[in-house]
Amino acid sequence: MNSSLRFLVAARRCEIEELEQLGRTGTLVGVIGELVHALQKERGLGNGYLGSGGKRFAGERAAQLVAGDEALRAVHNALDALSLNAQRLHNGARLFSRVADTLARLGTLPHLRERVRAQALSPAENTAAYARLVAGLLAVVFEAADGATDPGISRWLVAMFNFMQGKELAGQERAFGAAAFARGRSGDAQRQQWLHLIASQERCFDVFLEFSLGDLHRAWARLQADAVTAELERLRRIGCATAEGATFDAELAAEWFDCCTRRIDAMKTIEDELTQGLRALCATRAEEARAELARDTALLARLEAAHGPAETQEATPLADTGRLAAATTLAHAGQTDPLPSTPASSQYGRHLERSVMEMVQEQSRRLQAMSDELATVRASLDERKLVERAKGLLMAHRRLSEEEAHKLMRQTAMNQNRRLVEVAESVLAMADLLPAPAASVAAGR
Amino acid sequence: MNSSLRFLVAARRCEIEELEQLGRTGTLVGVIGELVHALQKERGLGNGYLGSGGKRFAGERAAQLVAGDEALRAVHNALDALSLNAQRLHNGARLFSRVADTLARLGTLPHLRERVRAQALSPAENTAAYARLVAGLLAVVFEAADGATDPGISRWLVAMFNFMQGKELAGQERAFGAAAFARGRSGDAQRQQWLHLIASQERCFDVFLEFSLGDLHRAWARLQADAVTAELERLRRIGCATAEGATFDAELAAEWFDCCTRRIDAMKTIEDELTQGLRALCATRAEEARAELARDTALLARLEAAHGPAETQEATPLADTGRLAAATTLAHAGQTDPLPSTPASSQYGRHLERSVMEMVQEQSRRLQAMSDELATVRASLDERKLVERAKGLLMAHRRLSEEEAHKLMRQTAMNQNRRLVEVAESVLAMADLLPAPAASVAAGR
């Protein structure tokens, strides 16, 4: 029984380490949220600066860049903490590859900022460039959610990822709407893309609601029912429901931008609640696992007191096979003659052995239930994986950049009035009919 | 770029460690195969001993117990090696819980052997008791296959698990058929259970063939076409196709047992090939990953030579945030003024940076492809998971032991002429209609 219990203890230790690493991942996700928020503000101010020909927002933008650097530093610190324990990280290879990719993208930030300062790009180009950076950061959050081994924490990370994604789409909608109102006229293509941005956003918040609980639901309901959202819906109606070729009031662009900004800032407070909740959840789960470990090790001590420590009890053929191999019950395995006489405390010992057996079985049941729940939570990530796979396929077969592939799929979805994931499914279903792909993708198959 | 490359290197290191742990897991799976084979022999000899009222096989059995102990020691050594690196183990909590469960079962082996020696149980009880031990060991192999992060190795482990499971079913069929021939008469229920054992076995070998390659396919084809298999099929036909109440020749029991034993021993040589192949595969993959790591670190050194090491290059606001945060490109992020003057070797440096970007993207694509393949391979494990879940549900709702739950499901499958997994699906689909479960299972949901 000692031998069995030792592995139960080893299993608990693994669990605690996983939970501690999840705690560090949670910290990373929190600071990524801050950086994303800073980049969203930077994007908004940059668009204002570019749109006004450099006349407005120069000062606000300079201040925001400083705040952005601070957020960037915090992300680097969190990455440092995570990489120091890299070998203990579940899913480390994938997560760190994602981080490498994201850091490579962030490496272009100084150049991007310089181009904005020099007014060398349009607001639309600026929006797209920042969206790429944010997408890279969100991919790290996605990987963290996909790699979490605790279903409760995984659930929370899925809620967070979707909330952050929804907030980013709200930021993109702000830029898109501001440009539309500034352009001063409505149009079918513009309306279609706007409605698509709203629908994608709402799907993200639906998933967030599905995977989050009480307080967060109430906070979201409050946000949805407030005056800012009412104003947003009014402006959306004007922007999206006006007949082809109608003109917009010039004032609307600024109104729209302010309204969206207030809403995004309100979202940030919910995101902060999510971050704090995640931290608390990781701490609680690690605490629970530590309490279980303490219970197991206490039982192991009592077992060793009853049977003597596993290492020294008997000189059997198994005694030389090391710490674990020498455990009490297995030490008997070498004997084919009648059972060895049990120690005086055997009654007590047998009672303990039953406890161990029950603990082992309970642990099995618990892991089974956890594994089932984890599978359910992860299934919610499958849609995004399908889209990513389809994108990769298009990139390989049609030699497109990631952005072009995404744009092509999004455009197809809009034209066919289907969801992005449905288009992705069609692309993947067609895979066998496409010409042979480039070598690097084929290699893995 | 340095910063990005550092994480690419960290990702490779994680991958190498995962592969090294997979190598140790592979060793464990190999010695588990040996122990299973030894227990299967022990079971067969035990049945002969019990069936002959202790008159035959006493000597062979005693020799086999010694061999069994040796195999048990090897398993313990492999577990030792694995647990020394426990914190680096992907899926450690689940694997070690499974190990704890299996060791608890193996702890009953001395008692079981003693009962056989004292002829205190029937051959059928003996078969069932050893089957429980083997099932525990195979569950560890299953967990290893499910936890592997490399798709090629995962595929191989899936092939191995199914082969080992099929071989165990062949062992159970040997015991079942020997008892049937010894009993001397045919019957519907007996025939039905026999056919069920054959069908389950064939499904295992089908999956093995699906997930294995060339040499192994040929070895299996040879085994299927040899005289032993022809003899087996002849005996199966006599055993299963004889009309209700017909009598069997008394000689058949021994013929059947010998034929099955020869076939199982032949299977063992294929299993040995699988074990060696797994070891070679793990070594090759680790080798490849190390070569990739060497390439990355060489590039990192060239980058640092071109740009100066990341830590010392510039005194920027980011310099105090540690090793990774201070990386070259991100160090520029604090500056909003024109781009800093590039070093003299900038042309060379920019070329290197493009290489890094390409490597990061290639790595992303590779991980995406690996992840897709892994998902496909793991899907093949889903059937067993469904059966396990359904079993757990029946245990909780109907307060059955694991064995009773399995028996109930198997019996239902036979009565309804359906596959076990289909019965499991029905059980799970009915879950909501069942009364409230015991607390321990409900807790995880």
Instruction: Calculate the average pLDDT of chain B.
Output: 82
The Cβ-side half-sphere exposure at B100, using a 13 Å CA radius, reads 28
Give dist(CA A66, CA B337) in Å, integer.
12
Query: Which residue of chain A comes nearest to B376, CA vs CA?
Result: A445
Which range of A90-94, A98-102, A109-113, B440-444 scores highest in mean pLDDT? It is: A109-113
What pLDDT was estimated at residue A327? 34
Give dist(CA B61, CA B290) in Å, integer.
47
| Mean pLDDT on B151-177 | 94
Question: Does residue A407 belong to the interface with chain B, where contact is any CB pair within 8 Å?
Answer: no
B248 CB-near residues (< 8 Å, 6+ apart): B180, B181, B183, B184, B185, B186, B238, B239, B242
Scan for tokens 């390409």, then name that residue.
Answer: B358
Question: Does residue A132 belong to the interface with chain B, where contact is any CB pair within 8 Å?
Answer: no
Residues of A in contact with B68 (CB under 8 A): 333
A256/chain B closest Cα distance in angstroms? 28
B:141-160 residues touching chain A, CB 8 A cutoff? 149, 151
Residues of B in contact with A335 (CB under 8 A): 110
3-state secondary structure chain B: CHHHHHHHHHHHHHHHHHHHHHHHHHHHHHHHHHHHHHHHHHHHHHHHHHHCCCCCCHHHHHHHHHHHHHHHHHHHHHHHHHHHCHHHCCCHHHHHHHHHHHHHHHCCHHHHHHHHHCCCCCHHHHHHHHHHHHHHHHHHHHHHHHHCCCHHHHHHHHHHHHHHHHHHHHHHHHHHHHHHHHHCECCHHHHHHHHHHHHHHHHHHHHHHHHCCHHHHHHHHHHHHCHHHHHHHHHHHHHHHCCCCCECCCCHHHHHHHHHHHHHHHHHHHHHHHHHHHHHHHHHHHHHHHHHHHHHHHHHHHHHHHHCCCCCCCCCCCHHHCCCCCCHHHHHHHCCCCCCCCCCCHHHHHHHHHHHHHHHHHHHHHHHHHHHHHHHHHHCCHHHHHHHHHHHHHHHHHCCCHHHHHHHHHHHHHHHCCCHHHHHHHHHHCHHHCCCCCHHHHCCC
Q: Judge: B372–A389 Cβ closer than 8 Å, yes or no.
A: yes
Among A97, A107, A372, whose Cβ lies nearest the Cβ of B329? A107
Residues of A in contact with B5 (CB under 8 A): 100
What pLDDT was estimated at residue B47? 92
Q: Judge: B14–A445 Cβ closer than 8 Å, yes or no.
A: no
DSSP string, A36-72: HHHHHHHHHHHHHHHHTTTSSSHHHHHHHHHHHHHHH
Among B13, B73, B388, whose Cβ lies nearest the Cβ of A321? B73
Give dist(CA B441, CA B445) in Å, integer.
8
Among B79, B88, B113, whose Cβ lies nearest the Cβ of A336? B113
Helix, strand, or coil here: A115?
helix
Question: Does residue B401 belong to the interface with chain A, where contact is any CB pair within 8 Å?
Answer: no
What pLDDT was estimated at residue A89? 63
Query: Which residue of chain A comes nearest to B149, CA vs CA?
Result: A91
Question: Does residue A62 belong to the interface with chain B, where contact is any CB pair within 8 Å?
Answer: yes
What pLDDT was estimated at residue B334? 36
Instruction: Give residue-wise pLDDT tens across range A167-208.
Output: 999 999 999 999 899 888 888 888 888 998 999 999 999 999
Give dist(CA B286, CA B18) in Å, integer.
9
| Mean pLDDT on B16-41 | 91
Please check whether residue A441 is in contact with residue A396, taking contact to mean a CB–CB distance below 8 angstroms: yes
Question: Does residue A416 belong to the interface with chain B, where contact is any CB pair within 8 Å?
Answer: no
Using a CB cutoff of 8 Å and minimum separation of 24, what contacts does A335-342 make? Answer: A335/B110, A336/B62, A336/B65, A336/B113, A336/B114, A336/B117, A338/B114, A339/B110, A339/B111, A339/B114, A340/A314
Among B86, B94, B360, whose Cβ lies nearest the Cβ of A104? B360
What pLDDT was estimated at residue A45? 93
Give, in order, the Cα–Cα distances in Å from A195 to each of A46, A108, A125, A175, A237. 24, 31, 21, 14, 10
Among A6, A322, A445, whose Cβ lies nearest the Cβ of B373? A445
Give dist(CA B193, CA A321) in Å, integer.
41
Question: Does residue B5 belong to the interface with chain A, where contact is any CB pair within 8 Å?
Answer: yes
Residues of B in contact with A372 (CB under 8 A): 389, 444-445
Q: Is residue B12 over pLDDT 50?
A: yes
Give dist(CA A126, CA B382) in Å, integer.
46
- When computed from its CA atoms, the radius of gyration of chain A, rounded to whole angstroms, is 28
| Mean pLDDT on A62-69 | 96
Give dist(CA B276, CA B29) in Å, integer.
11
| Mean pLDDT on B195-219 | 91
Instruction: Give residue-wise pLDDT tens across range B247-264.
Output: 888 789 999 999 999 999
| Mean pLDDT on B133-148 | 91
Mutate to test the interface with B, among A21, A133, A336, A428 (most CBs of B within 10 A): A336
With 0-12 / 13-18 / 19 or more C-beta atoms within 10 angstroms meaning exposed / middle / buried, residue B433 is exposed
Q: Is residue A226 over pLDDT 70?
A: yes
Give dist(CA A438, CA A436) in Å, integer.
7
Give the amino acid at A89.
L
A:270-309 residues touching chain B, CB 8 A cutoff? none
Q: Is residue A147 over pLDDT 80?
A: yes
Question: Does residue B79 belong to the interface with chain A, where contact is any CB pair within 8 Å?
Answer: yes
CB atoms within 10 A of CB A283: 14
Q: Is residue B312 over pLDDT 50?
A: no
Q: Judge: B101–A12 Cβ closer than 8 Å, yes or no.
A: no
Q: Judge: A323–B80 Cβ closer than 8 Å, yes or no.
A: yes
Question: Does residue A432 belong to the interface with chain B, where contact is any CB pair within 8 Å?
Answer: no
B9/chain A closest Cα distance in angstroms? 9
Angle between helix axes B2-51 and B252-307 (nearest 10 degrees) is: 170
- When computed from its CA atoms, the radius of gyration of chain B, rounded to whole angstroms, is 28
pLDDT: is A359 or B353 the higher one?
A: A359
| Mean pLDDT on B148-155 | 88
Instruction: Calculate the average pLDDT of chain A.
Output: 82
Q: Kindly report the pTM of this predicted structure.
A: 0.79
pLDDT confidence band for B444 (50 / 70 / 90): very low
Among A4, A73, A109, whose Cβ lies nearest the Cβ of B321? A73
B244 backbone dihedrals φ, ψ, rounded to 5°? -45, 130
